[in-house]
Chains A and B, each alone.
Chain A
Amino acid sequence: MEEKRTLSRRRFLQLSAVGAAGAALAACAMPAGDAATGGEMAEAPMDETVELRLSHWWGELITPSIPLIEEKHNVSITEESATWGEYFDKLLTQFAGGVAPDVMMTSILKVGPFYTAGLLQPLAPAMERNDIDPALWALDLDSLAFKGDIFGLPMFLNFPLGFAVNLDLIEAEGFDVPHEWPFWGTEAFDNFSYEKLTENFEACTKRSATGEIEIYGSAGTWGSVNQQSLFENGGDFFDSYEFDETECLLNSPEVVEAVAAYTDWVIKYEVAPDLGAAQAFKEGVWRAQKGVVQYSWLCYNCFQSPEATGFNWRMFHLPQLPSFKARRNLIMADMVTANPASDHADLAADIAITFTTDWDFTQKLYLTWLNLPAYNSGAHLSLVEDDPHIVEAMKVYLSRYKAFSEDMSSTEGFALAPGTRGRHAGFVDNTVKTEIEAVLVGDKTAQQAMDDAKALIDAQLAKS
């Protein structure tokens, strides 16, 4: 009889499995007031300190300003900072697990799936509640809207892509450039031609007796399409930028010309490093002073100060290609958004507003990283007047905006260009990168590569 009551191994394992599965389900089940249902919960009483989670990839840049928000909204904020490389993987996982943060930084580059899944809170009511003056936004907020709603507020005014020249290297090597660089205050500022820039690159490329390149005229590796040139040339990525695109337009003559212009610096003129060459230097060819001109965002901190680089540099705009149509800055906004499923959804939206518009907060950020907030931009300008290098960089950065420009010729026909790469941004990025690599290694012409990119992207769009 005794034996009969013994738990059989099979029975025990079955019970263990059931127990563990139950434990797993219990662990996975959302707690009361979780992210999915929390939006319906009442806000905390005013005298209680509410705890909110804020996620971003700006690391320590933001941390010193957090107490300002905590004090203003009587909240305790837990920062969740991750590097750009892993930030969105983490955020996606948090949403999937129902534990998304209350306030989040997002990027126009990655925000498509969040928009289309309805996971972000429309911020218009909070803007109205906080008396935000629409006129003080220095960029068109509608350009950041999705189906008419603003889901994320921009943290800074968009800067253009452009170049920085290492002046010390030119002097040290004795390079004799045929054309005056189009720096601030010169006649060619923002009107420099592609041909002239190419000739300058050639003049700054140093070759050894055996023909090997010792210093590149252009330090950039053109691994991905230069989107700003594409738009300035009159090209387009898609037929729509509302995350409902149906056709890729990358094989237009305007885009092909832009792609060829940049890849030609590597394969035709041989003034820029080919694939893989830039990896030789920890912080890139330019920082290693193996290249004279670097390509990046025209923001002061993208190039870092001369003290940090160890050499003097000045910046200028992208050259105008033969088919140039108009000046464009890409909308590359880092945005602050609020989780509609937060336990304190209204408060989260208010904090998103503070994050992007509060004078104390934005001036502190501005003084740290020198990019103008998109809200009330002009008021911040006077905060930095003592460093002529910074002041010149700011003038170049703002030269295309009528409200701030000191060179009105640079504002002619200026508009913002879409920064999004649609609802399949990752696929589009990889496809374009691979096709441009095919051009750089000589497998395809720019036209063939863009035809193939269009076909692949169109097929992907058709699937969804």
Chain B
Amino acid sequence: MLTFHRQWRDSWRSKLLRDEMLFGYAALIPYLAGFLIFVAGPLAYSLWLSFTQYNILQPPVPVGLDNYKALIEDPLMWKSLENTAVYSLVSVPLQVILGYALALMLNQQVKGLSAWRTVYYVPAVVPIVASAYLFSYLFNADTGLVNLLLKMVRISGPNWFGSPDWALRTFIIMNLWVSGGGMIVYLAALQGVPTALYDAAKIDGANAWQRLWAVTVPMTSPALLFMFMIGIIGSFQVFTSVFIITSGGPVNATLMYVLYLYRHGWSYLQMGYASALAWVLFAIIFGLTYLSLRVSGRLVHYEV
């Protein structure tokens, strides 16, 4: 009798578990369907397209590895990759450092703290199109506010977006405008640092600088790593501001990788080649992210 009861109970439990599991899976179906239709499907299709010649209007023609071979020999692909790499590797660390510095300042008990936090965060929610136009006016060589201010201190400002030597640098400077976007994440991390650690450091005689390097930075390093990786991924896909302000010019000085990809896809109607460019970008970002995670093992402190 006891055995029967146990069997019945186990059977009932397993039925309950099975129903619960099925319900869980059923609840997942909308997401899975969406993922398959709108993400995985197009991803797989674009991978296939990267091995074809496809002008959108006619059926794709398989060409094997031709697109990838052509890509290696394409000087503009390398130019766009160089521009993008310089942009990412300079602007992202600068953005992280500036955002972190802002967060450190705004983590203090200063008057009007909420207002300051809002002010620094606002650029992150301004539409890129609006900020692109704003900066194209600010950095105008003839009438821009930046050059007018420089003129007041007797400095002749450059032709920011109009000069091949300055255009990429100007985009890097412009990108610092959104440094406050990461501030929220840093602030959250900073406020999670146990005060006991600071107290202990003070007792040990650490000054503010030493406390920053020995306590604050290690304890918030996961947030720093996260923002760095997100920044790299985002900056390798920079498009809108460049498309609006310079369209890749002058003389390809701001030709970014995704802009070049877009041109091949929609302007040149070489969707196969554009797909190959996209997969190479995926590999680059994947590689950089993997590398960041590997290196971070030694640099980032995770609390156990």
Contacts and interface: CB of A to CB of B under 8 A. Distances in A.
Given A280-B140, A424-B268, A114 B249 contact: no
Contact of B142 (A88, A93, A277): A277
A247 interface: no
A178 interface: no
Contacts of B22: 7, 12
Nearest to A3: B14
B164 A443 contact: yes
A434 B252 contact: yes
Contact of B159 (A113, A275, A290): A275
A290 B164 CA distance: 25
B33 interface: yes
B36 A433 contact: no
B41 A24 contact: yes
Interface of A is mostly: helix
Contact of B25 (A16, A277, A279): A16
B15 interface: yes
Contacts of B141: 274, 276-277
A32 interface: no
Nearest to B138: A280
A125 B32 CA distance: 50
A265 B173 CA distance: 31
B162 A274 contact: yes
Contacts of A93: 56
A113 B57 contact: yes
B58 interface: yes
B282 interface: no
Interface string B148-188: 00000000000111111000000000000000000000000
B269 A113 contact: yes
A212 B141 CA distance: 11
Contacts of B164: 441, 443
Q: How large is the interface on A (under 10, 10 to 19, 20 to 34, 35 or more residues)?
A: 35 or more
A436 to B, nearest CB: 10
A131 interface: no
Q: How large is the interface on B (under 10, 10 to 19, 20 to 34, 35 or more residues)?
A: 35 or more
Given A23-B33, A427-B267, A437 B57 contact: no
Given A92-B269, A96-B57, A20 B32 contact: yes
Interface in B8-24: 11, 14-15, 18, 21-22
A241 B25 CA distance: 59
Contacts of A437: 249-251
Given A16-B25, A277-B142, A280-B137, A92 B250 contact: no
Given A7-B22, A279-B245, A424-B268, A95 B140 contact: no
A16 B267 CA distance: 38
Contact of B161 (A2, A24, A27, A279): A279
Interface string A78-97: 00000000001100110110
B144 interface: yes
B118 interface: no
Contacts of A117: 55, 57-58
B15 A2 contact: yes
Contacts of A186: none
B109 interface: no
A23 B32 contact: no
B14 A24 contact: no
Interface in B234-270: 245-252, 263, 266-269
B37 A23 contact: yes
Contacts of A273: 142
Which residue among B58, B245, B251, B269 has the maximum number of chain A CB atoms within 10 Å of its CB? Answer: B251
17 contacts: A7-B22, A7-B25, A16-B28, A16-B29, A17-B36, A21-B41, A96-B56, A113-B269, A276-B140, A276-B246, A279-B245, A426-B269, A430-B248, A430-B267, A433-B247, A434-B252, A440-B250
The 10 nearest A-B residue pairs measured at CB:
A276-B162, A426-B267, A280-B140, A275-B162, A20-B33, A117-B57, A280-B143, A20-B36, A24-B37, A437-B250
